[in-house]
Amino acid sequence: MTRRRELHVMYTNMNPDSEPWNIALVDNDALVRSYLETYLGGLPEFNICWSMQSGRDAVEAYHHSIACTNCVPDLIVTDLSMHGMSGFELCATIRFENDHTPILGCSSYMIEPYERDAVNNGMQGLLLKNELAQLADGMRTLLSGQPLLKSNGMPYETPQQAHERLLMQGKPAIMSMSPNEQAVMELCSEGLSTRTIAEETGDSESTVKTYISRAMRKLRAKSRAEAVASWSRKTKL
């Protein structure tokens, strides 16, 4: 009996009525992403709910899934090195807002040199993407509520622990904001209206409002004025 067949039988016997876990994948290499989708999606306990090629696309997909409550991921698996927004920046963006969804980084290279960045940005583990069986086992560990271990034997933070730490540090609010969100907040701090900001940036007013809304959420502000005040305090530190 193959390893995959053993896992299928074990999962089916232990969880006959269980729904598979929703998994989100992020990797800018289309071939690797397709490979991961095929392997992980072929396991009975996983359902690939969405798959994106960039960090920014993943943040958009995450917010859309939350807003629509449609196929919200139970676990996000992301590559580390991606154009525009790295896996670490993606993690910080989502972790700053989210205190319960595990985020697992994966790489084709040695993972030990990246552990500090993974911890600083709120990840729940790092694994090699070319070790598929180990990757799947690590995913099961996180989804069962157990921590993965760093190279020194100490556990990674839980999503809640990482979320609370990032909130206390404050600065990740700025770090987690996209360049567009930062640019719009800077223009807001200069007292410009939404229409004027749209003219300055070349975006539509609707897009500017979306950037402001996201920035407010990351700054934990209840109003635009409160977001501007928070932005001004943090950027002048």
Strands of 80-235 (E only): list them: 103-107, 126-128
CA dist 37 and 196 (Å) reads 43
CA dist 66 and 74 (Å) reads 12
- Computed over its alpha carbons, how large is the radius of gyration of the chain? 19
Confidence grade of residue 195 (pLDDT, cut at 50, 70, 90): very high
3-class DSSP state of 50: strand
List, for residues 43-94, the tens digit of each pLDDT value.
999 999 999 999 888 988 998 888 776 688 999 999 998 877 789 888 988 9
3-state helix vs strand vs coil in the chain, percent to 5 = 55, 10, 35
Which of the pair, 2 or 133, is modelled with greater confidence?
A: 133
Domain 3-169 of CATH type 3.40.50.10860: no
Q: Which pLDDT score, from 0 to 100, does residue 12 have? A: 43
Residue 169 scores a pLDDT above 70: yes
For range 29-46, the mean pLDDT: 96
Residue percentage of the chain with pLDDT more than 90: 56
Residue whose entry in the numeric block shows the structure tokens 């157990």: 146
The backbone torsions φ and ψ at residue 83, rounded to the nearest 5 degrees and listed phi first, read: -70, 145
Contact 185, 229 (CB under 8 A): no
Least confident interval from 34-38, 68-72, 211-215, 224-228: 68-72
Architecture category of domain 177-235 in CATH:
Orthogonal Bundle (1.10)
Give the C-alpha distances (Å, rounded to integers) separating 164 from 136, 168, 170, 172, 190. Answer: 27, 6, 10, 11, 31
The backbone torsions φ and ψ at residue 21, rounded to the nearest 5 degrees and listed phi first, read: -75, 140
CA dist 148 and 218 (Å) reads 27
CA dist 22 and 110 (Å) reads 27
Q: Which pLDDT score, from 0 to 100, does residue 56 have? A: 82
pTM above 0.75, yes or no: no
3-class DSSP state of 66: helix
Ordered by start, the domain boundaries in the chain are 3-169, 177-235
